[in-house]
């Protein structure tokens, strides 16, 4: 395998993915997919390297911008590096544009990562299956071949093929739904904004939703199994309220036409901020009006506010590489308190920050094996390890300290400047310090 580095080369960059995914929710629980990835060559190179993990590549083609097939000398897969390499017969020259066309298949995972299968039981004991995704940090590559690093931002046009009785949702609103000859349905979604692969999401389920609209006209929907719809009211009202608050606070409108919040029965993390399609463990999204305790309600508000904060901090502006994960998480971990405080002043959550977050950070940071908030990481297991109390709690404590030191006005202006300067791009810690100073 000619490319030896775990990081992808930067000679070729993707600009657009056109993706069709077809999960099968019975029998073998697998999926097939087609991807057309538009790329441009930014530096002369002999080969194209992208990510692919546990996928069977059924066919591959390279097409130039005149729609002509380009001869490929070889296609190699490296399982250890999770990489796929295409070597055309002729070298690629800076300025050229191509489309990589791939057909592939894979198994729906049962590990709650990548493109995976989840299920739930209805009150009368019937098992219902769904297919959903969790790509952060490095599992978009397990669903479709892609340049799976945060810096390779591109636009996505996604289509899902699914059974007639099911609904498909993704980052963007549906643009059309077509009945196919084989009885399946094809749901196509509008083209996304420029975004990182780890924020792509798609779900096929029989869930239903409750909805509201923000004053700016953004459609907010909360999705759950039909029998749990009564428990979506709190999350819906938090999302509607806090989304508008953040728009005013950052002075930047939420850039998508809609936002969906989905209660996923099997979910590894607390929640995930996929752009326009946030996924949650049921406990953090559903709140039964008859039995939820005050602490349960606060959990929902905090986690919804956290994922909404990421729509700007993380999604609109993304860290260049995972060593600055704390920028994403520390920030959302602080701003979640501001959002929740705006939603329910009488909860006094800003007072709780010290005991819930700051104290934990001091405790963890006093251990011999602590680490700085920004850590060098290269491989997927190191990346997973830094989703810890230092990134979240110490990161957010530093952000809170900055706010108190700079004062609200300078803090707000600095963040607005940072977000506007790097919108739809990537940034590192130094960029934030610069914006705040």
pLDDT at 13: 99
Q: State the Cα torsion 235-269-130-168 to the nearest 10°.
A: 60
Q: Which residues are catalytic?
A: 307
> In the structure encoding, which two tokens stand for residue 51, read together?
């990510």
Q: What angle do CA 174, 171, 145 make, to 5 degrees?
A: 110
Burial class (CB in 10 A: 0-12, 13-18, 19+), 80: exposed
The model's pLDDT over 15-58, given as tens digits with 9 standing for 90+, comes to 999 999 999 999 999 999 999 999 999 999 999 999 999 999 99
CB-based contacts of 368, cutoff 8 Å, min separation 6: none
Q: Where are the domains of the chain?
A: 12-205, 208-436
The model's pLDDT over 254-268, given as tens digits with 9 standing for 90+, comes to 999 999 999 999 999
CATH architecture of structural domain 208-436: Orthogonal Bundle (1.10)
Work out the number of other CB atoms within 10 angstroms of the CB of residue 308.
26
Kindly list the distances between the CA atom of residue 187 and the CA atoms of 83, 145, 261, in Å, as whole numbers in the listed order.
29, 21, 19
For 353, half-sphere exposure in the C-beta direction (CA atoms, 13 angstrom radius) is 25
pLDDT at 107: 99
The model's pLDDT over 261-290, given as tens digits with 9 standing for 90+, comes to 999 999 999 999 999 999 999 999 999 999
Give the chain's mean pLDDT.
Answer: 98
- The two domains 12-205 and 208-436 share their CATH topology (first three levels equal): no
Pairing of strands 56-64, 97-107: antiparallel
Q: What is the CATH number of domain 12-205?
A: 2.60.40.1730
Q: Tell me: is residue 371 an annotated ligand-binding position.
A: no
Residues constituting the chain: 437
Local confidence band at 372 (pLDDT 50, 70, 90 cut-offs): very high
Contact by Cβ (8 Å): 171, 143: no
Kindly list the distances between the CA atom of residue 165 and the CA atoms of 53, 149, 176, 331, 334, in Å, as whole numbers in the listed order.
30, 35, 16, 40, 41
Q: State the Cα torsion 399-401-405-407 to the nearest 10°.
A: 60
CB-based contacts of 408, cutoff 8 Å, min separation 6: none
Kindly list the distances between the CA atom of residue 29 and the CA atoms of 21, 26, 82, 110, in Å, as whole numbers in the listed order.
13, 5, 22, 10
Q: Tell me: is residue 329 an annotated ligand-binding position.
A: yes
The mean per-residue pLDDT over the stretch 61-79 comes to: 98
CB-based contacts of 83, cutoff 8 Å, min separation 6: 1, 3, 8, 49, 50, 51, 52, 77
pLDDT at 233: 98
Q: Tell me: is residue 342 an annotated ligand-binding position.
A: no
pLDDT at 244: 99
The model's pLDDT over 314-329, given as tens digits with 9 standing for 90+, comes to 999 999 999 999 999 9
Work out the number of other CB atoms within 10 angstroms of the CB of residue 70.
17
Local confidence band at 165 (pLDDT 50, 70, 90 cut-offs): very high
The model's pLDDT over 97-155, given as tens digits with 9 standing for 90+, comes to 999 999 999 999 999 999 999 999 999 999 999 999 999 999 999 999 999 999 999 99
The model's pLDDT over 200-230, given as tens digits with 9 standing for 90+, comes to 999 999 999 999 999 999 999 999 999 999 9
pLDDT at 60: 99
Contact by Cβ (8 Å): 77, 84: yes
């Amino acid at each position: 395998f000619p490319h030896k580095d775990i990081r992808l080369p930067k000679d070729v960059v993707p600009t657009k993915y056109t993706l069709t995914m077809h999960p099968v929710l019975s029998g073998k629980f697998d999926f097939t997919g087609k991807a057309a990835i538009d790329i441009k060559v930014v530096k002369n190179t002999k080969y194209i390297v992208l990510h692919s993990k546990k996928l069977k590549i059924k066919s591959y083609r390279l097409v130039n911008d005149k729609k002509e097939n380009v001869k490929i000398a070889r296609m190699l897969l490296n399982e250890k590096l999770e990489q796929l390499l295409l070597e055309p017969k002729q070298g690629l020259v800076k300025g050229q544009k191509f489309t990589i066309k791939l057909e592939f298949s894979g198994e729906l995972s049962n590990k709650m990562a990548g493109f995976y299968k989840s299920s739930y039981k209805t009150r009368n004991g019937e098992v219902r299956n769904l297919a959903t995704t969790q790509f952060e940090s490095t599992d978009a590559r397990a669903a479709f071949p892609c340049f799976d690093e945060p810096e390779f931002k591109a636009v996505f046009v996604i289509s899902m093929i699914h059974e007639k009785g099911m609904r498909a949702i993704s980052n963007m609103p549906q643009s059309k739904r077509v009945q196919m000859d084989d009885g399946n349905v094809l749901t196509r979604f509008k083209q996304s904004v420029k975004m990182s692969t780890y924020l792509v999401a798609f779900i096929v389920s029989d869930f239903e939703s409750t909805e509201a609209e923000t004053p700016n006209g953004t459609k907010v929907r909360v999705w759950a199994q039909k029998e749990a719809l009564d428990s979506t009211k709190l999350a819906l009202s938090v999302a509607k309220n806090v989304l508008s608050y953040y728009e005013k606070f950052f002075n930047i409108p939420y850039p998508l036409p809609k936002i969906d919040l989905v209660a996923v029965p099997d979910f590894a993390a607390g929640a995930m901020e996929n752009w326009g399609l946030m996924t949650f463990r049921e406990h953090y999204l559903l709140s039964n009006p008859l039995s939820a305790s005050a602490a349960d309600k606060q959990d929902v508000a905090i986690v919804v506010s956290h994922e909404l904060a990421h729509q700007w901090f993380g999604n609109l502006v993304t860290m260049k590489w995972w060593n600055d994960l704390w920028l994403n998480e520390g920030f959302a971990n602080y701003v979640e308190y501001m959002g929740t405080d705006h939603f329910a002043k009488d909860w006094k959550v800003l007072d709780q920050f010290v005991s819930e977050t700051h104290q934990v950070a001091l405790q963890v940071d006093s251990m011999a094996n602590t680490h700085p908030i920004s850590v060098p990481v290269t491989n997927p297991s190191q990346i997973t390890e830094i989703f810890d109390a230092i990134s979240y709690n110490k990161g957010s404590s530093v952000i809170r300290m900055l706010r108190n030191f700079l004062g609200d006005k300078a803090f707000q202006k600095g963040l607005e400047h940072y977000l506007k300067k790097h919108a739809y791009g990537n940034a590192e810690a130094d960029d934030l310090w610069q914006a705040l100073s």
